[in-house]
């Protein structure tokens, strides 16, 4: 589906088949000097056809269009190199640029194998995840060139100005876009209305959940009338959703603490297996590999938050991090 949601701002829904996110909301902003495409979809033919058909439907051409990527994940970056023209620049936050280039070199999974083992994954589970994870399968080409932007960068398209807002937490360098005079926020995966963004341990950040919660608080005082999200339902009340997301994570922290408190010490993998999830499966062993990856990461982020705040302890046993209350 493609539609003009505000004057010169278009929504292009890009399907994400067999993925719980269901769709990516890509946005196209027309200016008098340049145009800007926000996020692209997985690097596969289904996403490519949906995006190019949407661009054609609104009379857009990539010859005078640049691309802004809210963050490094492949459902947002995958098609950027394929859809860009020779005159297009591909912008992304500087921190995520660094990690995306590292990720696309192909050594990421080998370099981070220990991280998964430390969380409690078996080596066989790690190898299956490495081979089947959509973030790997549908990543942008390795030779894609990116231009880094910092917090407060302004895109002046002619008649419309968009400011970047640094909102780390979902990724190390996640960024939102803000049209100040229209009070429109493009929230990326920082605020999603129908599901909660995944928060997992991040490279270079000791407390990713704490970082995410601070980024939510950062947006509370921003004057916003319309928030445009990256997945499922595109629009909603940002202030209400921010409060809901904070409350959700407080409840998850209580759940994680209770699981650890009633055990003699567990890995994040074991804690995740005991937490409640919205995945419609009866047993932890039935979780698809990449869903386990997200779930264990989510559990680890909450456990690290508790540990950083002195609520639980973290130590290593047989090369696996264990969390306990004593």
Could you read off the pLDDT of 278-293 as tens digits, one per residue? 877 778 988 888 889 8
Predicted local distance difference test score (pLDDT) of residue 202: 87
Query: Residue 4: which residues within 8 A CB-CB, separation 6 or more?
Result: 10, 58
pLDDT band at 106 (very low <50, low <70, confident <90, very high): low
Torsion from C-alpha of 77, 83, 89, 92, nearest 10 degrees: -10
Per-residue pLDDT for 140 more than 80? Answer: yes
Per-residue pLDDT for 109 more than 90? Answer: no
* CATH code at 253-324: 1.10.10.10
The mean pLDDT value of the chain amounts to 94
Strand 175-179, strand 184-188: pairing? antiparallel
Tokens (6 digits) for 158? 């002619």
Neighbours of 136 (CB within 10 A): 17
Per-residue pLDDT for 98 more than 80? Answer: yes
In contact, 163 and 151? CB cutoff 8 Å: no
Per-residue pLDDT for 223 more than 80? Answer: yes
Predicted local distance difference test score (pLDDT) of residue 5: 97
| Diameter of the chain measured on Cα atoms | 63
Task: Report the predicted TM-score, pTM, of the whole model to 2 decimal places.
Answer: 0.95
Per-residue pLDDT for 77 more than 90? Answer: yes
What secondary structure letter does DSSP report for 102? H
Identify the CATH homologous superfamily for domain 2-120+132-245. Ribonuclease Z/Hydroxyacylglutathione hydrolase-like (3.60.15.10)
Domain spans of the chain? 2-120+132-245, 253-324
């Amino acid at each position: 589906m493609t539609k003009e949601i505000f004057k010169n701002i278009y929504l292009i829904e890009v399907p994400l088949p067999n993925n719980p996110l269901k769709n990516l909301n890509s946005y196209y902003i027309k200016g008098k000097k340049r145009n800007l495409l926000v996020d692209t979809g997985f690097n596969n033919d289904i996403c490519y056809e949906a995006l190019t058909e949407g661009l054609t439907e609104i009379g857009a051409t990539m010859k005078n269009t640049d691309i802004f990527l809210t963050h490094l994940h492949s459902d947002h970056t995958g098609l950027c190199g394929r859809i860009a023209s020779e005159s297009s620049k591909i912008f992304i936050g500087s921190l995520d640029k660094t990690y995306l280039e590292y990720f696309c070199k192909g050594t990421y999974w080998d370099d981070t194998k220990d991280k998964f083992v430390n969380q409690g994954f078996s080596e066989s589970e790690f190898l299956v995840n490495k081979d089947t994870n959509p973030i790997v399968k549908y990543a942008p080409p390795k030779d894609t060139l990116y231009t880094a932007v910092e917090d407060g960068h302004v895109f002046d398209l002619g008649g419309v100005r968009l400011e970047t807002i640094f909102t780390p937490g979902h990724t190390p360098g996640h960024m939102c876009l803000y049209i100040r005079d229209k009070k429109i926020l493009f929230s990326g995966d920082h605020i999603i209305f129908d599901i909660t963004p995944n928060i997992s341990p991040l490279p270079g950040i000791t407390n990713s959940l704490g970082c995410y919660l601070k980024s939510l608080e950062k947006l509370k005082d921003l004057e916003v009338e319309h928030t445009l999200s990256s997945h499922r339902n595109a629009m909603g009340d940002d202030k209400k959703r921010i409060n809901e997301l904070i409350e959700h994570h407080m409840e998850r922290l209580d759940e994680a603490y209770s699981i650890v408190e009633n055990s003699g010490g567990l890995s994040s993998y074991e804690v995740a297996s005991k937490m409640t999830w919205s995945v419609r499966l009866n047993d932890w062993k039935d979780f698809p590999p990449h869903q386990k990856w997200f779930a264990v990461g989510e559990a680890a982020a909450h456990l690290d938050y508790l540990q950083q705040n002195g609520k639980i302890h973290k130590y290593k046993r047989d090369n696996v991090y264990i969390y306990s209350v004593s």
